[in-house]
Structure 1
Amino acid sequence: MSAPPRLPDYGSVLEEVRKVRRAGVVRLREIDTPELRRIADELHGSDGELSGGAVERLLRTAVFGIGGGSLQTAAEYTLGLAQGTRDWPPADRRRRAAQVYGVSVERFRKHHELMVLGQIAEQVVALAGRAPAHTAATATAPLPAAHRAIPLFLHGRVVTLTVHVHSVDLLRDVDVVVSPTNTYFALPAAYKSSVSATLRRAGALKDPAGGVVEDHVHDELRGWAARNGTPGRAALPGTVVATSSGALAGQGVRRIYHVAVAVPRPETNDYDVQPADVTRGVTRAFALLAEESRACDPPLTSICLPLLGAGRGGLPPLESFGALWTAVEAELARGAEWDVHFVVRRHARADLIERLLAGLTERAVRADRGIRADRGDP
């Protein structure tokens, strides 16, 4: 019978969480957090080269476990886990967290911050109790995570990608959502289950009885077609059209990028999707993101991608991810600082993405070690 996992000392965990508060997650690899690293390793496994990423993933899971509300929001700002705050100085993060509670910075430091850090530490200790040292007879498997932060070692730096495992309309605080569509930019009926239909439905303004008052996404897309002389004619595969997010703006989603990847087969209800068109479309989506970001206040910084073409388009999930990853990797390889997200509805697909990214990281780490060895670097 396996021994139960060694529960960490709460005081030690709290002290290390305080270190992270002072340093921020951007400097995790520079600070000494042996207890957090041990817990991260037991829960997820880690590589010495990526220990900072493993600890960040542990902390994100712990903060997510708080369960929302002001406490979770303040915890995200306190550690630098909130979008766009990774490199904020500790004083700026503390000031923003104090605003969440509507108190002065000094009162937050003396009272609320102690509560926030304590709750993070409590969640970390609870996660340590779920480590896989439990026996099969006594262990209670945790629910699969709906949000997975995956550190990736890519071209000499660590980036963190997020995989969401839920319907696309549940996304929050992601600036841009990419939506696959056909080359006619004809959206499906709002009651259907595809990504584009779900976004159309979620973006519509409804009356108290649920009736559609304004079909924002659909109407904007039709307006684009009318202005560009394409109504009733197919656009080139890979074309990208931006619309507002309609009612999704209330969830922090600011734009929808409609990527034409599905080519209808004449006189059928079927489509053809070519992986090259997926890559081309995602590449253009990043170019549009860069263009629009400069004109927006605050700038656009994050983008979320479904597995384009893996629904009625017929592409296997592996092939779809490979096609869009080609564009994502090229963008990140040039040093772009976008916050990249993926969204899928099935945990099996999230597992696939996580395995693929883990394999990429392993190969990148080996290659980096080889390069440093050839140069004689330590």
Structure 2
Amino acid sequence: MASSDVADMRTRIINELTLLRRRGMTRLRVTPVPTIADVSRVVLGSDEPAAIERLLRQAIDGLGGGQFGRAGLLLFGPSPGTRGRKPKELREMAALELELQPDTFRKGRELRILEQIAEQMIGLVVLQRVTMPSEPAEDRRARLERLAAEIAALPAADLGPLVQLLRSRLGVPD
């Protein structure tokens, strides 16, 4: 993926996450999220709503827990006790988790959470490409070299979350 492809994918994922947050997870089947569905197909092998929800949980888990991660879970409602709640209620709960007013949360932190979830999803795609098991060693080496060149071309701001995700998934210490 070239840097412009990553930026474009990131923007599309953020837009689709925003739409999904507004409509609610219970309307996932009728909410158009083609980029997220593509990511789900690459990462989990399916673009069914249950797989997309698993992808979302996996991406939110990548936020590392704490208040920020819990706010991400609350924002979408996939955690016990929040499924089916109205999106406005979920936003209020997420804001409360971060000790913010809902309007303050909406204007700032919500977007940061969506951006980080998008970064985690992109990182999962990259990880999937790195760990494809059934290719010959020469093909894998060539693919890894191309991937390394693509990563090297990314702006520095995009590298932190990606490096952190790769290290955690591959079991490499910081």
Same fold per TM (> 0.5)? yes
**In structure 2, which of residues 92, 110, 115 is the aligned counterpart of residue 113 of structure 1?**
110
Whole-Å separation in 1 of the counterparts to 2:98 and 2:67: 7
Which amino acid letter does the alignment assign opposite residue 140 of structure 2?
A
- 1:76-112 Cα offsets, whole Å, 9 max, x none, are 0001122221201011001101111111111111111
Whole-Å separation in 2 of the counterparts to 1:67 and 1:101: 15
Q: In structure 1, what is the equivalent of residue 122 of structure 2?
A: 125
Question: Does 2:90 correspond to 1:86?
Answer: no
Whole-Å separation in 1 of the counterparts to 2:9 and 2:38: 12
Q: Percent identity?
A: 32
Which amino acid letter does the alignment assign opposite residue 25 of structure 1?
M
SS at match of 2:105: helix
Q: Which has the higher contact order (CA 8 A, sep 6+)?
A: 2
Residue 113 of structure 1, CA deviation: 0.9
Within a 5 Å distance, the mapping from 1:117-156 to structure 2 comes to 117-132=114-129, 136-137=140-141, 138=144, 142-143=169-170
- 1:12-40 Cα offsets, whole Å, 9 max, x none, are 01001111111222221110011111111
Bigger Cα Rg:
1
Whole-Å separation in 2 of the counterparts to 1:70 and 1:16: 23
Whole-Å separation in 2 of the counterparts to 1:70 and 1:108: 13
SS at match of 1:18: helix
Whole-Å separation in 1 of the counterparts to 2:60 and 2:26: 17
Q: In structure 1, what is the equivalent of residue 136 of structure 2?
A: none
Within a 5 Å distance, the mapping from 1:143-292 to structure 2 comes to 143=170
Whole-Å separation in 2 of the counterparts to 1:113 and 1:91: 12
Within a 5 Å distance, the mapping from 1:276-315 to structure 2 comes to none
SS at match of 1:129: helix
- 1:31-67 Cα offsets, whole Å, 9 max, x none, are 00111111111111116xxx11111111111000011
Within a 5 Å distance, the mapping from 1:278-357 to structure 2 comes to none
Which amino acid letter does the alignment assign opposite residue 23 of structure 1?
R
Question: Does 2:69 correspond to 1:72?
Answer: yes
Which amino acid letter does the alignment assign opposite residue 33 of structure 1?
V
Tell me how large the CA RMSD over aligned residues is: 2.5
- 1:205-263 Cα offsets, whole Å, 9 max, x none, are xxxxxxxxxxxxxxxxxxxxxxxxxxxxxxxxxxxxxxxxxxxxxxxxxxxxxxxxxxx
Q: In structure 2, what is the equivalent of residue 26 of structure 1?
A: 26
Q: TM-score, normalised to structure 1's length? A: 0.34
Q: In structure 2, what is the equivalent of residue 45 of structure 1?
A: 45
Residue 143 of structure 1, CA deviation: 4.3
Which amino acid letter does the alignment assign opposite residue 13 of structure 1?
I
Which amino acid letter does the alignment assign opposite residue 95 of structure 1?
E
Which amino acid letter does the alignment assign opposite residue 27 of structure 1?
R
Which amino acid letter does the alignment assign opposite residue 120 of structure 1?
I
SS at match of 1:136: helix
Q: In structure 2, what is the equivalent of residue 233 of structure 1?
A: none
Q: In structure 1, what is the equivalent of residue 99 of structure 2?
A: 102
Which has the larger strand fraction? 1
Which has the larger helix fraction? 2
Q: In structure 2, what is the equivalent of residue 248 of structure 1?
A: none
Aligned length: 138
Residue 131 of structure 1, CA deviation: 2.4
Structure 2, gaps ≥5 residues long: 133-138, 148-165
Q: TM-score, normalised to structure 2's length? A: 0.71
- 1:176-213 Cα offsets, whole Å, 9 max, x none, are xxxxxxxxxxxxxxxxxxxxxxxxxxxxxxxxxxxxxx
Which amino acid letter does the alignment assign opposite residue 106 of structure 1?
D
